[in-house]
């Protein structure tokens, strides 16, 4: 009541004054107590409302937290389901594509199989008559291969290289004729063979057409070999081939003339631009040559470091590289030697170091003990072959070297004091075997025959005993005799090529060598070259003409050659070697217009 009055803005004092007059004191006290009770009840009601409100807020907060947590869980589930859906969609798409691809592949395989079956059926129903199979052709060509094989001319490097290249062309043409012949460009190949008197003879074979029988017959006839063993063509084959026969036998001379004319016309056509082309090629390749020369110098320094390390570990006196492979192969071999030493067990390591100590090591073709007591490791052999040679050398090296010396003295005594040459890097055991076989041949002859041979030979004449695959030859004044030589053929050959002829050949060889070296030095000085080299199989006269032409190049053109390393080769184009040398075809020099 009092509060209501206060809210209504009434004046309590005036009201009290008015009521005081009307009410007694007890009534006033009672009213005040009632007012107080009402106030307390109102306060308790407010407290209950406040507690209820707080509880409601707490409950609402917990409900919101639970809802938020549930929403987070649902969001994660939805994200996971989305990823699974995308992955499954991709798998389904890949499976559908793969199924289609597999179906197409199955169709293609079925088509190929049926095509192959149809081809076989056609070949069975309509067979193509061929006189030769590939195997029969190889058998028929055996005499020809023996006559032109490069190994028979090992002492003539130029002939060996020329026959090897021609044989590659010949084999390539023959191989393309089997199982089904293909259309090929005619090509002319040239071989060098020996005649019945062991003289060198050049033959030309013009390869044309697709008839292997005619080509094989022509090759045998050009080498003057028998063709009786060739199969005879039957009538069916004759009728089948009569329309397409391209026998070289019928018009070989005309084709040879046509070939020569074409070659001459081509040479004249190229001669017009060779002079400009050579200078342009040198200028174009100069930068690359300089880069490779610098790289080559770095490689040489690395190899020298590897050699020094091997010498320090083994006590080797010298390491040589006797083949014309790139120096990267030599570095690989040196690294393999270090690996062999570092990874060998103690027993094997002692054998290796003992066998190499104080000796010379050569990297070449094939692993063997050399005639001078040194070792040769095959550049293309495995480490196991090297270890085997090291172990063998520790067992019988000294004895076998002394045995070879005694055999050489024995041959010299048998042949009247000749000078028997032994190549220091040849295989020791094989050389001993060859010398023993030769001694057996000589000693099996009557004394009269031996005295005739001795009388034909001059004292101190240089003689070399070769393997059984070689032939009698007089190379650079050195008489080369196969270990299995026929004695009558030996007498005939020595009688025809006496010691004076051998001495003349040796003298001419060294004169040509020194003269060529002199012309080379003047050419290098004139062109301001760093170095000048050439292939070993180049003809002396041809090489001399090329060097003389280079020495006459005009001064305004010398700048194109200055500072370069030139290598004269027989290749078809100009290119840069790994050592930084520029390989120039000798034909380009010959046709160079000064």
Beta strands in 266-345 (DSSP E): 318-321
Tell me if 273 is assigned to some domain: no
Return the pLDDT at 508: 82
Specify the pairing of strand 462-466 against strand 473-475. Answer: unpaired
Whether residue 250 lies inside any domain: the answer is: no
**Tokens 């023959």 correspond to what residue?**
174
User: Same domain, yes or no, for 347 and 422?
Assistant: yes
- 443 and 394 in a common domain: yes
Check whether residue 354 and residue 491 sit in a common domain. yes
Distance (Å, whole) CA 159 – CA 192: 7
Q: Can you give the pLDDT at residue 12?
A: 46
**Length reported for the chain:** 594
- Check: CB of residue 28 under 8 Å from CB of residue 20: yes
Q: Are residues 98 and 155 in the same domain?
A: no
- Residue 40 within a domain: yes
Give me the pLDDT at residue 97, please: 67
pLDDT along the chain (594 residues), means of 10: 48 50 73 85 87 85 84 82 79 72 80 80 58 75 85 76 85 80 80 80 85 86 82 48 38 49 56 62 88 90 92 91 86 91 86 88 90 89 88 79 90 87 89 92 86 83 86 82 88 79 78 86 88 84 87 84 87 84 85 71
- For every residue of 519-536, DSSP letters joined together read HHHHHHHHHT-SEEEE-T
How far apart CA 375 and CA 355 sit, in angstroms, is: 9
Q: Which of the listed residues 176, 206, 232 is the one where a domain comes to its end?
A: 232
- 78 and 147 in a common domain: no
Q: Is residue 295 included in any domain, yes or no?
A: no
Structural domain includes residue 262? no
Domain boundary (103, 125, 147) is at 125
Q: Look at residue 243 in the predicted model and tell me its pLDDT.
A: 36
- Together in a domain, 330 and 470: yes
Q: How far is CA 236 from CA 150, 216, 244, in A?
A: 39, 20, 14
For 233-268, letters b (16+ CB in 10 Å) and e give: beeeeeeebeeeeeebeeebeebeeeeeeeeeeeee
* Domain-embedded: residue 13: yes
pTM beyond 0.85 = no
Per the structure, the complete domain to which residue 200 belongs is given by: 134-232
Residues 473 and 567 both lie in one domain:
no
Q: Using CA atoms, how far apart are residues 552 and 558, in angstroms rounded to an integer? A: 10
**Residue 525 in domain:** yes
Domain co-membership, 545 together with 440: no
- Give domain status of residue 174, yes or no: yes
**In terms of domains, do 29 and 161 share one?**
no
Domain count within the chain: 4
Looking at the fold, whether 140 and 120 belong to one and the same domain comes out as: no
């Amino acid at each position: 009541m009092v509060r209501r009055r206060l809210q209504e803005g009434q004046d309590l004092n005036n009201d009290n004054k008015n009521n005081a007059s009307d009410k007694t004191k007890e009534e006033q006290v009672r009213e005040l107590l009632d007012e107080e009770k009402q106030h307390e009840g109102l306060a308790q009601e407010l407290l209950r409302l406040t507690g209820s409100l707080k509880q409601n807020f707490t409950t609402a907060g917990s409900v919101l937290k639970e809802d938020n947590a549930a929403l987070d869980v649902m969001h994660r589930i939805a994200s996971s389901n989305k990823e699974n859906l995308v992955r499954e969609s991709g798998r389904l798409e890949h499976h559908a594509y793969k199924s289609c691809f597999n179906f197409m592949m199955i169709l293609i395989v079925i088509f190929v199989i049926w095509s192959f079956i149809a081809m076989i059926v056609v070949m069975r129903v309509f067979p193509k008559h061929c006189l030769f199979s590939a195997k029969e052709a190889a058998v028929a060509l055996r005499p020809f291969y023996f006559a032109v094989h490069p190994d028979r001319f090992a002492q003539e490097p130029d002939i060996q290289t020329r026959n090897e290249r021609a044989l590659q062309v010949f084999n390539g043409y023959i191989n393309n004729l089997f199982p089904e012949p293909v259309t090929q460009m005619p090509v002319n190949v040239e071989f060098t063979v020996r005649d019945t008197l062991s003289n060198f003879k050049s033959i030309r074979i013009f390869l044309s057409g697709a008839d292997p029988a005619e080509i094989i017959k022509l090759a045998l006839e050009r080498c003057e070999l028998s063709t009786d063993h060739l199969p005879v063509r039957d009538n069916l084959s004759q009728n089948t081939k009569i329309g397409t026969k391209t026998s070289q036998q019928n018009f070989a001379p005309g084709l040879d003339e046509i070939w020569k004319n074409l070659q001459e016309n081509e040479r004249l056509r190229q001669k017009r631009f060779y002079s400009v082309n050579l200078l342009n090629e040198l200028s174009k390749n100069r930068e690359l040559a300089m880069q490779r020369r610098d790289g080559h110098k770095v490689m040489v320094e690395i190899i020298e470091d590897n050699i020094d390390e091997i010498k320090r570990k083994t006590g080797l006196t010298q390491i040589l590289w006797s083949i014309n492979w790139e120096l990267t192969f030599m570095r690989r071999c040196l690294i393999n030697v270090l690996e062999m030493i570092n990874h060998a067990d103690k027993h094997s390591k002692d054998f290796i170091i003992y066998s190499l100590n104080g000796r010379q090591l050569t990297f070449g073709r094939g692993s063997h003990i050399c005639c001078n007591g040194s070792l040769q490791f095959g550049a293309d052999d495995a480490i196991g072959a090297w270890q085997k040679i090291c172990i063998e050398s520790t067992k019988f090296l000294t004895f076998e070297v002394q045995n070879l010396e005694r055999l050489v003295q024995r041959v010299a005594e048998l042949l009247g004091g000749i000078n028997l040459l032994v190549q220091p890097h040849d295989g020791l055991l094989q050389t001993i075997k060859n010398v023993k076989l030769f001694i057996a041949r000589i000693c099996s002859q009557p004394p009269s025959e031996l005295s005739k041979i001795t009388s034909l030979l001059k004292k101190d004449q240089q003689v070399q005993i070769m393997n059984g695959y070689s032939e009698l030859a007089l190379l650079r004044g050195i008489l080369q005799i196969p270990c299995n030589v026929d004695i009558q053929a030996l007498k005939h050959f020595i009688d025809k090529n006496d010691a004076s002829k051998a001495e003349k050949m040796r003298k001419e060889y060294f004169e040509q060598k020194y003269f060529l070296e002199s012309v080379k030095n003047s050419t290098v000085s004139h062109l301001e070259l760093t170095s000048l080299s050439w292939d070993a199989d180049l003809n002396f006269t041809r090489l001399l003409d090329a060097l003389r032409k280079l020495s006459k190049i005009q001064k305004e053109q010398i700048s194109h050659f200055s500072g370069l390393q030139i290598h004269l080769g027989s290749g078809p184009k100009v290119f840069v070697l790994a050592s930084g040398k520029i390989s120039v075809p000798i034909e380009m020099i010959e046709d160079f217009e000064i």
